[in-house]
A and B are shown apart, each in its own frame.
Chain A
Amino acid sequence: MATYKLNINKKMYEVEAEPDTPLLWVIRDKVGLKGTKFGCGAAHCGVCTILFNGFPIKSCTLAVAAVTPEIEITTIESTDFKNLKVVQDAWTKVQAPQCGYCQSGQILTAVSLLNQNPTPSDADINTAMTAVLCRCGTYPRIKKAIKTASQELNA
């Protein structure tokens, strides 16, 4: 066991963990933030996506030992990350989730996309969002929600 300092949603956490523990399980079970989900454990599905300095990363295959306290980690529980609320509201407006399980990963990936490109084309949306699977098939509404959020941001 070693001690790690993690900067999650602008708060410092100190956790004890084996160095090879994936960040996903540290965030979920040691820090106790359950909004980040487990889907495949092998970087195939993207439901475990969180943001590293604003960019999406799959937390299930990233060992906690590779994370430094300088990295700003954002999870779905953040209350003030840039444009997260706008995107969440757009998601609610178009009623995007079905079971909802993949949606933390979807939303954070979309927030990162919109922060880099506030007016994404269909192709831009496809490229960014292809990383996250949804077995319920909410993709048409995810597209709609991203466009709704984009309009909101550019209003």
Chain B
Amino acid sequence: MKRRDFLQIAGVSGLGLMLGCTSSGNKVQSANAEDVELSHFVFIDTNGVVTILNHKPELGQGVYQAIPMIIAEELEVDIHKINIIQSLADKEKYGNQGIGGSTSVRRGYTELRKIGATGRILLIQAAANQWQCSVSECSASNGSVSRNGSKVKLSYGELVIAASQLEVPKEVELKKSADFKILGKPTLRQDIPMKVKGEAVFGLDVELDNMLYASVERTPYMFGAVDSYNKEAIEALPGIVSTSILKTDLFGKPRQGVAILSEDYFTAYKARKQLKIEWTAIPEVYDDAKIFGAFHKEKSKKPTAQRNKNKDKTTLSNQVDTISAEYECPYEAHSPMEPMNATVWVKKDSTVEAWLPTQNGQSARGSIAEITGIQKENITINVTFLGGGFGRRSLQDFAIEAAHLSNETKRPVKVVWSREDDTNAGPFRPATLNVFKAGFDSQKNLTSFSNHIIAQIIGHQWPGADLTKIGGGTYEGAYWGYNFANYTQAGTTVQLPVPIWYWRSVYSSTNCFVNESFVDEVANHMGMDSIDFRLKHMKDERATTLINTIRKQSNWDNPAPREFKGVAFAHVFGSYSAQVVTVEKSGAGVRIKKVDAVIDCGQTINPDTIEAQIEGSIIMGLTAAYKGGISIQGGKVANSNFDKYELLRINETPEIEVQIMKNDHAPGGIGEPGFPPTPPALGNAIFKATGLRIRKLPMTEVSIT
């Protein structure tokens, strides 16, 4: 295959060339070489230049480097010499390409290694054939195959044509982790040079000839339909090309808007101020008080579902004392720095090309097929870099809007959301109420522990959902591994007209805060040290090792004068995560001095990326702990830009120290496990410093700096 064809297949032609393959990103181009496809993921040209495709969306979590690292390890090539490019979204070729639940590496690990190993075995076989020897006499390393015990060597470039014609082996042997040369070593990311030069192409940066920009005035409420609007007046404004009602739905309910299209974004955006829209189908109007009121009504009722462990009637009969507590957590917005946007071009020849900053290009492909009536095979989805996502971009509403508008105009349309559009629409991290109760015997031994979460359930929003079932994910982040006697987790689903969605670490983002805070309340009631209490109640050796490690790293047992420390633990998304927050008193409040973190995510791919993900999660965790919270007033978001929905800034960022455990357990997730322990570790530290137990996020009862 010629390089040009190959680039087209890989979605890097023309404009796409910039997507993963800018002048700096694409380090090597060999002239007059033929590119040979060894698999959908691996191309080697006849000069030996290796190109590996990353098939997962890159939103900062580092898959752009990590996926090729896994393949390169088994393929036996130099990671610093390969080209990396972003693949198209194509289920047939790449399998599931969605990202969410910190799954890219942990679910793909073995398959990706097999892809690399298959390439290696084919290349070795090609060499053995040429030398007329057995494969056991050959070995591969650094992009070439050598004949053992001799200096004879053939480069992959010399072997690739022959290798590509061989039959693909059914079974492949994978390397032993002791022989890894790439995995587990900090590796420079190839997307970073592009990102520091402003060359990386995000969704918002896509530019096409004849493109229209759309700005959409969506229902200011959570849902709603457009009855009518002043179409003629708007279309008479200078620079306005057309307007239309976007008849879009979310979870089976209308969530519509009026789209204004222009040759440039600002003209379309500005015209929105002159819109006069009659809204209809507006849902019952809620605000914060009414929402939490609805949760509190459920407290005394039977939960939708519950699970129990360590049932022990004898212990329970000795219960003489109980404590209880209620915790509230607010909605949160994802607020990636790049607001939602999408570019779709429904072409006159009944094909579609789209450029999407999406966490799930395949889902967008399906939706575009439905909207346009065009077969999936004729829909090309280019996945751009994503300016953050945190779960938001796994919903495809932005792509659906662009598809409708391009379908109507048959011109390329880029829909751009303003920051307010992005915050107002949600969908949000679910708000929650948790009710806890713990019992003790006369010796202050724990006799029961129960947790009741009352919240909206993400999966219950679709019409026809089974409202009698609550998945285990609803309890994630509330550590079920504690061997508490008479341990109960219960859940109650609440239906509210506020759309919710997956947000970094999902229910763990609230569950860990409320549970690890109440666990501390229990330890305190028993007069036990927070870490001793946790260790006493856990069996899993990886968990106890982790806790002992954080104990040491954070200097838990010897705090400096005026320092107070809080701890929290989570076992989520396949990884173990523990943190200690150190605060000191400052006036009536506290100052955060340091966050210590330890993560056990098994076999590591790129430890530098893991460290970065944990740092970033902690900063997002501090934001949610004491700055965040979406407030709903009169059925609308009350804080829709960063002046009122504040994010942590650099001057508010404490020292952070991250330690990664070394072992060869299967890889765990890294994008989410760093988040859950931060808010509870902070709350627990504040309790120690001030005696104030914070049971409501964001933590506004105490000044935090």
Contact = CB atoms under 8 A, between A and B. Distances in A.
A149 to B, nearest CB: 12
B146 interface: no
A130 B651 contact: yes
Given A40-B642, A98-B61, A137-B619, A35 B199 contact: yes
Contact of A41 (B419, B612, B619, B651): B419
A88 B196 contact: yes
A137 B608 contact: no
A141 B419 contact: no
Interface string A96-123: 1111111110010000000000000000
A86 B648 CA distance: 27
Contacts of B642: 39-40, 42, 44-45, 133
B499 interface: no
A34 to B, nearest CB: 4
Contacts of A143: 650
Contacts of A103: 195-196
A30 B618 CA distance: 39
B104 to A, nearest CB: 15
Contact of B192 (A29, A95, A101, A127): A95
A87 to B, nearest CB: 8
B416 to A, nearest CB: 8
B86 to A, nearest CB: 14
Contacts of A97: 60, 191-192, 195-196
Contacts of B201: 34
Interface in A23-69: 25, 28-30, 32-42, 44-45, 47
Given A37-B337, A42-B643, A99-B389, 17 more contacts: A18-B266, A20-B270, A25-B265, A32-B207, A37-B338, A40-B419, A97-B60, A97-B191, A98-B613, A99-B58, A99-B59, A130-B650, A130-B651, A133-B649, A134-B650, A138-B616, A139-B648
Contact of B612 (A91, A92, A95, A126): A95
A45 B264 contact: no
Interface string B46-76: 0000000000001111100000000000000
Contact of B339 (A18, A38, A95): A38
Interface string B196-207: 111111101101
A153 interface: no
A129 B336 CA distance: 19
A44 B191 contact: no
Contacts of B191: 97, 100
B653 interface: yes
Nearest to A146: B650
A35 B201 CA distance: 9
B387 interface: yes
Contact of B337 (A20, A22, A47, A141): A47
A35 to B, nearest CB: 2
Interface of B: 58-62, 188-189, 191-202, 204-205, 207, 213, 239, 264-267, 270, 335-339, 385-390, 416, 418-419, 608-609, 612-613, 615-620, 641-643, 647-651, 653, 655-656
B337 A102 contact: yes
9 contacts: A20-B270, A37-B204, A39-B337, A40-B642, A88-B196, A98-B62, A101-B338, A102-B387, A138-B616
B655 to A, nearest CB: 8
A45 B337 contact: yes
Nearest to A90: B196
Contact of A127 (B336, B387, B609, B651): B651
Most central of A29, A30, A40, A125 by chain B CB within 10 Å: A40
Contacts of A134: 337, 650
A57 B131 CA distance: 65
A47 B387 CA distance: 11
A137 B337 contact: no
B197 A35 contact: yes
Given A101-B338, A137-B620, A44 B612 contact: no
Given A126-B650, A142-B650, A30 B388 contact: no
Most central of B192, B641, B647 by chain A CB within 10 Å: B192
A136 interface: yes
Contact of A75 (B198, B387, B616): B198
Given A32-B207, A138-B616, A18 B267 contact: yes
Contacts of B620: 135, 137
B649 A141 contact: no
Contacts of A28: 205
A38 B385 contact: no
A22 to B, nearest CB: 7
B190 to A, nearest CB: 11
Contacts of A133: 337, 642, 647, 649
A135 B388 contact: yes
Contacts of B194: 100
Contact of A141 (B335, B390, B612): B612
Nearest to B608: A95
B188 A44 contact: no
Given A34-B198, A37-B204, A130 B649 contact: yes
Contact of A135 (B58, B196, B267, B647): B647
B456 to A, nearest CB: 24
Contact of B650 (A39, A77, A129, A136): A129
Contacts of A21: 264, 266
A73 interface: no
A99 B388 contact: yes
A102 B60 CA distance: 11
Contact of A101 (B207, B266, B337, B651): B337
A104 B198 contact: yes
Contacts of B615: 137-138, 140-141
Contact of A139 (B189, B192, B650): B650
Contacts of A36: 198
Contacts of A130: 649-651
Contacts of A75: 198
Contacts of A107: 196
A101 B265 contact: no
A121 to B, nearest CB: 12
B616 A136 contact: yes
A76 interface: yes
A102 B337 CA distance: 7
B266 A22 contact: yes
Contacts of A139: 619, 648-650, 653
A47 B337 CA distance: 8
A76 B198 contact: yes
Given A133-B649, A139-B650, A99 B336 contact: yes
Q: Which 4 A-B pairs have the closest CB atoms?
A: A35-B198, A137-B619, A101-B387, A100-B195
